[in-house]
Amino acid sequence: MIDLLELRKYTASKKLVIPGARTDAESPLVGTVSVFEPIELEAVRKSDDAHLWNEYVQRYHSLGYKTPFGAHQRYFIVSRTQAGYKRLGCLLFAASAWALADRDNWIGWSKADRSQRLCRENHWQFMIVLQDTQLLSVWEDAKGLHKLETANIKKQIYGNCNQDFWLVNNIKYRYQHEGKKKNQILHVVVCEESWEDLNARNEVVQKRSRHAWISSQPISQRKVHI
């Protein structure tokens, strides 16, 4: 006999997704797939596009929109032909559960243990989002080496975005775990984006964003793309 814990009280989010005119139905697309090629996945990276994605799902998915759990990434399925740009559908990929309290307690892992050991003990390679406030020594080394390694850059235009990538390999990150000093070789790639958008007054404004990742594997310009 297994005694289960009592159900936790759950309060649904009061934030409603109300579809607007941008997601009104358009004329049906008629033809074979080849007529609408190339068909691509377009990552949703801006908050306005995320709201639009939510509206599409709320309006056209049989279950409506529900807030995804854990790490996730939204995509638009798009067609880019000479006739124009069309959104065909929406996809969402979500990661499996990273933190399971009962599992971690049974193993004896703390939060730090879990983050450090899951990849190492399973011999997984990784590429993890690097926040501005995380691993400050890695950021300091990456910015310093970037000034010296000026050739490790890549510029491209993706959609309506100008993307400037810069990358630094072989950064030695030193930390202490269970009283022992450890070293981890990390590799960093940063993408700085700029694009034009319309504000609430229908005026053209310049917007910018920055994304960064750390990887367990060296990064080359050829492999860099968002």
Report the predicted TM-score, pTM, of the whole model to 2 decimal places: 0.51
**Which residue reads 């990784």 in tokens?**
126
Tens-digit pLDDT profile for residues 213-226: 988 889 888 777 65
Whether pLDDT at 45 is above 90: no
Contacts of 129 (CB under 8 A, 6+ apart): 211, 212, 213
d(CA 88, CA 79): 7
Q: What's the pLDDT at 39? A: 93
| Domain segments of the chain as ranges | 33-94, 130-223
DSSP 8-state secondary structure symbol assigned to residue 79 = E
68-77, 100-109, 185-194: least confident range = 100-109
pLDDT exceeding 90 applies to what percent of the chain? 28
Q: What's the pLDDT at 159? A: 73
Whether pLDDT at 202 is above 60: yes
Identify residue 214 by its one-letter amino acid code: I
Q: What's the pLDDT at 105? A: 80
Mapped onto helix, strand or coil, the DSSP state of residue 222 is helix
Q: What's the pLDDT at 182? A: 81
Whether pLDDT at 10 is above 60: no
Higher pLDDT, 85 or 126: 85
Q: DSSP string covering 19-57, please?
A: --GGG---PPP-S-GGGG-SEEEEE--SHHHHHHHHHHH
Whether pLDDT at 199 is above 80: no
Contacts of 48 (CB under 8 A, 6+ apart): 197
